Amino acid sequence: MACEQDARNAKFYKNITNIKDVVTDRFLCTGGQEPVLDPNTCKGDSGGPLIIQKRLRYIQVGVISWGVVDVCKGRSVTCENPYEFQEGSPSFARDYHINLFRVMPWLKKQLAEELEFI
């Protein structure tokens, strides 16, 4: 899978024997190359939401955890065109998000007395 292979380009995971120990099924992967390209996050965006639009609703499906490359380093980033700053970024620039649907049982257990879940 491309997401697993691209994770090997993260300098902190270069020496990992089995990349599936790092990129587990609890992660969603974004980034990629044309024609399927998602805007990458910047260093410091960890904890931010991964949101998708379905019909007329926006749904949070993930939380940014880490990325292979800081595509924003040394660049002036604006919200007007999130793809603009990715020009010249390596094809392996990927971001990895915690999949909220995979961790929902754990969240319910930990937060049962704090929140009401549907």
Q: What is the pTM of this model?
A: 0.81
Neighbours of 90 (CB within 10 A): 14
List pLDDT tens digits, range 13-30. 888 889 899 899 999 999
Q: Among 26, 25, 32, which residue's Cα sits nearest to residue 3?
A: 32
Considering the chain, what is the average pLDDT of its residues? 85
